[in-house]
Amino acid sequence: MGKFEELIAAESDKFDDFRDASAAKIKAFFNRKAVEEIIEEKDEERKVKAWLVILAIVGVVAIGCVVGFLIYRKNKPDYLDDFEDEFDDDDDDDLFEEE
């Protein structure tokens, strides 16, 4: 082999090393991007789950309030009946018949 061929072979080896290193860096970059995307997806899922938990708690409290109100409304005394009984006009009918 001549000097020129040795020089080309050495440069070719350097280029192969550079290409392999670059390929490794590119693979690492894309692997890191993939891991970051997975982490971001999990973060988004956690946010969605957090909102669902908050909405579920609010819904349970609202349902509890409605049930409590309905139980109160069913069991409260009806004061309107007593009020209407006080104003019965049975006595007034006698007044008109006497005339």
How many Å from the N-terminal Cα to the C-terminal Cα in the chain? 147
pTM beyond 0.75, yes or no:
no
- CB under 8 Å to 82, separation ≥6 — which residues? none
Domains in the chain: how many in total? 1
Q: Does pLDDT of 98 surpass 60?
A: no
Range of the domain at 45: 3-98
pLDDT at position 11 is 66
Which pLDDT score, from 0 to 100, does residue 24 have?
78
Per the model's pLDDT, the better-predicted residue between 93 and 14 turns out to be 14
pLDDT digits (tens, 9 = 90+) for 9-46: 666 666 666 667 777 777 777 778 888 888 888 888 88
pLDDT band for position 90 (cuts 50, 70, 90): low
